[in-house]
């Protein structure tokens, strides 16, 4: 995910200070991986450097001085281009899992046991996402569905790999 473009999208409706942006970002996108303040302020600094936002402030008030970020016309153009640009359709190949299977076979280790353990981990994660889908608002439910669909595809691959391990072992034998 492009943190900078996402922040632009959060700034566009109204000027926002950093703490507001982080809170909104984490609420919408960071359930499992909150945005670190350092990464956010680095992205905001680049947006400012590139003329996509202007910095206003500090704003007067009872709390600490806060800088407000406001999107520029160039920022709106950049955001619109980012939104219109389709993401590259790439399969989620999990190269680490593939490498573990091949290395296990090459080294005469029990690849099927490793795949069974991976299946169990996937099923546990699917249960967590199913609970998240049930209790959350629509945005959280749709995000959980996205993860579930990908994990279901991984499970199909794991089952296919287990069914073909003997053939794959011959194929990767040195």
The DSSP line for 122-165 is HHHHHHHHHHHHHHS-HHHHHHHHHHHHHHHHHHHHHHHHHHTH
Q: What is the pLDDT along the chain (174 residues), one digit of tens a residue?
A: 689 999 999 999 999 999 999 998 888 887 778 999 999 999 999 999 999 999 987 755 555 668 899 999 999 999 999 989 877 666 666 577 887 888 888 788 898 999 999 999 999 999 999 999 999 899 999 999 999 999 999 999 999 999 999 999 898 876
Residue 68: DSSP 8-state: E
What is this structure's pTM?
0.68
Fill in the DSSP letter of residue 87. P
């Amino acid at each position: 995910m492009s943190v900078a473009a996402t922040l632009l999208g959060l700034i566009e409706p109204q000027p926002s200070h950093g703490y507001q942006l982080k809170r909104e970002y984490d609420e919408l996108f960071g359930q499992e991986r909150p945005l670190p303040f350092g990464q956010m302020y680095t992205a905001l600094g680049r947006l400012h450097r590139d003329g996509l936002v202007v910095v206003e402030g500090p704003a007067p008030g009872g709390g600490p001085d806060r800088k407000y970020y406001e999107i520029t016309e160039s920022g709106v153009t950049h955001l619109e281009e980012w939104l219109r640009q389709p993401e590259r359709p790439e399969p989620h190949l999990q190269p680490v899992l593939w490498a573990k299977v091949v290395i296990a076979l090459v080294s005469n280790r029990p690849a099927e046991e490793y795949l069974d353990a991976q299946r169990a981990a996937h099923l546990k994660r699917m249960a967590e996402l199913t609970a998240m889908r049930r209790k959350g608002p629509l945005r959280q439910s749709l995000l959980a569905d996205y993860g579930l669909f990908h994990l279901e595809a991984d499970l199909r691959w794991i089952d296919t790999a287990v069914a073909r391990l003997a053939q794959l072992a011959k194929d990767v034998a040195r």
